[in-house]
Structure 1
Amino acid sequence: MEGRHFTTRKRLRLREFDYSQPYAYFLTICCKDKRAIFVGEELNKAVCYTISEEIDRLNFDLFTYCLMPNHLHLLLSPGLSNTPVSRYVQGFKSKSTRMAWMHGISGIVWQRGCYDHIVRGSESLLEIATYIVNNPVRKGLAGSIDDYPYSGINDNLIY
């Protein structure tokens, strides 16, 4: 196959890391082609419900979330569930995609995989959570974090 060049996809996960360990993970799940899909109140509320529904189903811990028009930020942990984070992402994407389709969105909703950051001991969960919930303010979608209805922070991080 002379003249053909194949590119290798960039690996999104650490090769030998066990993503079921009870660390905290900062995830960013992006819409396919950066489409602004989550702009309607009814769909956004349903997707926010799905975030917590999947957390409860898998017995994960959710520290904070923020649903933006074209992506979702999550700070979560599998806790002691011994369940890989990828199972959460897979279940969430599947359910939220069906919801988007029911609300008139067509085609692929989410891009492949997600971006993750394993929170290290020296990093503050509260600082990361604050960064996440301030995203709508930074993007001009809200005047303050209290004005944006599609985000939340676990009270245990604050007190």
Structure 2
Amino acid sequence: MSSFDQYPQRKRHRLPAAVYATTEYEYYATICARHQGEPFRDPRLAKKVIESLLWTKEEYKWLLFCYCLMPDHVHFVCRLTDEDVKRINAGARGVQAEGVLDHLGRFKSYTTNQSWKLGLSGKLWQKSSYDRVLDLEHPFIEVVEYTLNNPVRKELVRVWEEWPYARIVDPWW
């Protein structure tokens, strides 16, 4: 036993980077606002965030199955496609395929910049996001329903279709 083995091992927050760069899986993400309060109640900022998410989908050729922008966070379900497989220099990790997390970083940076133009200061988003690769443990349709029904659970609307910031973008059926 080496001296390294006696120290507790920190649990990894993320799966290996390659998992986020494959077209084999659907991804679910939640990104929370950093600001106290609910910055996306401002319809100007909500519109910018949704426009940016849709731009990200087009730019990186995602299948964006659905999204729901809540007053203080955004949920979405997506999958990469073969149309936009890019390679990036990942430093010590070598050359890797660009993935969802790379795209999210650009999305967060751009929308933060847009929020400054509307009078907010500081970073718009928390540093990390909550994300999952969907599989049998996280069934696709259950995650889509959870995403879309978020405003119903929060009692903001009676049915998700009434919420102006929730939408099915790329139908899967």
Normalising by structure 2, what TM-score?
0.78
For residue 78 of structure 1, report the CA deviation from its aligned partner: 1.4
How many positions carry a matched residue from both structures?
Answer: 151
For residue 17 of structure 1, report the CA deviation from its aligned partner: 4.6
Tell me which of 122, 126, 133 is aligned to 1:107: 122
Does structure 2 conserve the Cα–Cα contact (< 8 Å) formed by 1:97 and 1:109?
yes
Matches of 1:66 and 1:19 in 2, distance apart? 21
Write out aligned runs for 1:6-155 (5 A): 11-15=12-16, 17-22=18-23, 23-32=25-34, 35-80=37-82, 81-82=84-85, 83-121=98-136, 123-154=138-169
For residue 35 of structure 1, report the CA deviation from its aligned partner: 3.6
Percent identity over paired residues: 33
> Residues 10-37 of structure 1, C-alpha deviation per residue, up to 9 Å, x if partnerless?
6321246531011101001111155411
SS, match of residue 76 in structure 1:
strand
Deviation >4 Å, runs of 4+? none
Matches of 1:138 and 1:132 in 2, distance apart? 10
In structure 2, relative to structure 1, the CA distance for the partners of 1:37 and 1:52 (3 Å cut) is same
Normalising by structure 1, what TM-score?
0.84
Does structure 2 conserve the Cα–Cα contact (< 8 Å) formed by 1:24 and 1:76?
yes
Does structure 1 conserve the Cα–Cα contact (< 8 Å) formed by 2:64 and 2:170?
no
Of structures 1 and 2, the larger Rg is shown by 2
In structure 2, relative to structure 1, the CA distance for the partners of 1:9 and 1:142 (3 Å cut) is farther
Does structure 1 conserve the Cα–Cα contact (< 8 Å) formed by 2:27 and 2:79?
yes
Residue number in structure 1 paired with 2:6: none
RMSD: 2.1
Matches of 1:50 and 1:152 in 2, distance apart? 14
Matches of 2:99 and 2:111 in 1, distance apart? 19
> Gaps spanning 5+ residues in structure 1: where?
1-7
> Residues 106-144 of structure 1, C-alpha deviation per residue, up to 9 Å, x if partnerless?
112111121111001565423211110100110122221
Matches of 1:133 and 1:126 in 2, distance apart? 11
SS, match of residue 28 in structure 1:
strand
Matches of 1:75 and 1:31 in 2, distance apart? 18
In structure 2, relative to structure 1, the CA distance for the partners of 1:106 and 1:54 (3 Å cut) is same
> Gaps spanning 5+ residues in structure 2: where?
1-8, 86-97
